[in-house]
Amino acid sequence: MTITAGRSAMPQHVAIIMDGNGRWANARGLPRSAGHRKGVEALRTAVRAAGEMGIEYLTIFSFSSENWSRPPAEVSFLLDLMRHFVRQDVAELHRENVRIRIIGERQGLAPDIVALIEETELRTQANTGLTLVVAFNYGSRHEIATAARELALAVKSGRVAPDSITPELFGSFLSTEGIPDPDLLIRTSGEQRLSNYLLWQCAYTEFVFVDEFWPDFSRETMQRAITEYLARERRFGGLTAQSA
């Protein structure tokens, strides 16, 4: 892994926590589902903007492993929205040369959703434009524990020597294998926490928190977050050029 300290260049990988759909709807006296529906439109805007800005990887938190604890009607609405998004938008994203990867636990998901996920990845795997990483039924601690279990099995069977375990090797057991760490993480709705998202991958990520609720996310919001990121100095634990 090569990491270079200094003033930031355009981010290669942007991760987003799309938060505030419910509050956006409440503020308008609408059901939460209306916020999620509008959230899908904001997602389309974000994907298009990322592609046009030359961002190579965009990771979005679409459904966390903790979201199952919401009322059943909301969970089933979100799952239907995912089905709809995949059926409706993947053909267009494919035409736009977008590669789609879906990370998160597949075990226990409805078989039709697993089939949609597999089809989507297969269909778009040779695309060379933006890589859209969709975190679905994703939780970072679970991902890390699963990687540890697989690594332990690899050691037990003699395929991996304990001395060869490095952060890079461990990272290759995660679902984000082959994807560079996020440079910038944007969370909407003013909340300032990571909520079990990409805990390992965000070791040196710059965080930008914006006040807009997710349904109001626009190209300008993305541009502002990137401008803020570009003004930051990334040190990766080292010193800046001036203080060295």
Residues designated catalytic: 19, 67
User: What are the helix and strand counts (H, E) for the chain?
Assistant: 7, 8
> If binding is defined by CB under 6 A, does position 82 make contact with ligand FPP?
yes
| DSSP bridge partners of 16 | 60, 186
Classified as helix, coil or strand, 147 is: helix
Site string for ligand FPP, 33-52 (x = CB under 6 A): ---x--xx--x---------
Beta sheet of 206-209, edge-to-edge order: 99-103, 131-138, 57-64, 13-17, 184-187, 206-209
> If binding is defined by CB under 6 A, does position 85 make contact with ligand FPP?
yes
Q: Which two tokens stand for residue 104?
A: 């998160």
Is residue 228 within 8 Å of 14, Cβ to Cβ?
no
12-20, 101-109, 112-120, 193-201 -> range binding ligand FPP (CB under 6 A): 12-20
Minimum CB–partner distance for residue 132 and ligand FPP (Å): 10
Helix (H) or strand (E) holding 22: helix 21-26
Nearer to ligand FPP, 25 or 179 (CB): 25
Minimum CB–partner distance for residue 21 and ligand FPP (Å): 4
Is residue 244 within 8 Å of 67, Cβ to Cβ?
no
Nearer to ligand FPP, 81 or 151 (CB): 81
Nearer to ligand FPP, 55 or 93 (CB): 93
In one-letter notation, the amino acid at residue 23 is R
Q: Which two tokens stand for residue 211?
A: 């006040």
Contacting residue, 11, 20, 51, 182, with ligand FPP by CB under 6 A: 20
Contacting residue, 19, 143, 183, 206, with ligand FPP by CB under 6 A: 19
Q: Rounded to whole angstroms, what are the CA distances from 92 to 50, 81, 100?
A: 15, 17, 12
Site string for ligand FPP, 50-69 (x = CB under 6 A): ------------x----x--
Is residue 179 within 8 Å of 13, Cβ to Cβ?
yes
Nearer to ligand FPP, 194 or 230 (CB): 194
Minimum CB–partner distance for residue 220 and ligand FPP (Å): 18
Q: Distance between CA atoms of 138 and 104, rounded to whole angstroms?
A: 4
Compute how many residues bind ligand FPP; rule: CB under 6 A: 17
> If binding is defined by CB under 6 A, does position 137 make contact with ligand FPP?
no
> If binding is defined by CB under 6 A, does position 124 make contact with ligand FPP?
no
Q: Helices 32-52 & 72-95, crossing angle to 10 degrees?
A: 20
32-40, 145-153, 159-167, 192-200 -> range binding ligand FPP (CB under 6 A): 32-40
Q: List residues near ligand FPP by CB under 6 A.
A: 18-23, 36, 39-40, 43, 62, 67, 78, 81-82, 85, 214
